[in-house]
């Protein structure tokens, strides 16, 4: 199930392009849609690390 991140240029965002969540990139349209639907905005704050940095 591709989501809006499938069009992203960021390697980090592209990692989540096939998640079963309809993610939106951080852009005005995402906040306009949330306002229009009167729903909260949920943020996913993640990180990307190399193999060595993950082995702590």
Domain that holds residue 20: 1-55
Assess contact for 51 and 32: CB atoms under 8 A: no
Mean pLDDT to the nearest integer, 17-43:
92
Mean pLDDT to the nearest integer, 32-56:
83
Exposure string over 6-21, b if 16+ CB within 10 A, otherwise e: eebeeeebeebeeeee
Average pLDDT, the chain: 85
Number of domains the chain is built from: 1
Q: How confident is the model at residue 37 (pLDDT cuts 50, 70, 90)?
A: very high
Q: How confident is the model at residue 45 (pLDDT cuts 50, 70, 90)?
A: confident
Answer whether 0.75 is exceeded by the pTM. Answer: no
């Amino acid at each position: 199930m591709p989501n809006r991140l499938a069009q992203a240029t960021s390697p980090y965002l592209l990692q989540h392009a096939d998640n079963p969540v309809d993610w939106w990139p951080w852009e005005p349209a995402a906040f306009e849609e949330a306002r229009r639907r009167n729903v909260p905005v949920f943020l996913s704050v993640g990180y990307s690390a190399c193999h060595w940095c993950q082995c702590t």
